[in-house]
Amino acid sequence: MAAAARKLCGEMIARIEKRTIDQRSEERHENLVDCSTLFFRGGVHVVPVVNISTRGAMIVCALEPRIGESVIVRFEGCSPIYASVRWVRDGRVGLSFGTELTIG
């Protein structure tokens, strides 16, 4: 399978060098949200949330979305949020929100 095709099917692409710095631009909050509802390919799934930031979240699920695929995520008491899949690894999925959230 070509490298470009692997990027789109959710498979990990080997990192040549080990990451030496944390490239995150915003703080991750753990235990702020227990779970969310994920709307994915016509299905509705309740998934645990590992952490959340103003720009994204890490969820746990057995689903295998493609990198770049669009999903809708809803946290209790909040409006649905459009997100895109940034990465998939070992039963966890990194989501990037379409808009920045206010956490607090």
Q: What is the pLDDT of residues 44-102, one digit of tens each?
A: 999 999 999 999 999 999 998 999 999 999 999 889 999 999 999 999 999 999 888 77
Q: Which residue has the higher pLDDT, 33 or 87?
A: 87
Q: What is the CATH number of domain 3-11+27-97?
A: 2.40.10.430
Task: Say what the pLDDT of residue 6 is.
Answer: 47
For residue 104, the model assigns a pLDDT of 64
Q: Whole-angstrom Cα distance, residue 15 to residue 5?
A: 17
Q: What is the C-alpha to C-alpha distance for residues 3 and 20, in angstroms, rounded to an integer?
A: 24
**Termini Cα distance of the chain:** 44
> With 80 as the cut, is the pLDDT of residue 28 above it?
no
pLDDT digits (tens, 9 = 90+) for 1-11: 454 444 445 55
Q: Are 25 and 56 in contact (CB under 8 A)?
A: no
Q: What is the CA radius of gyration of the chain?
A: 14
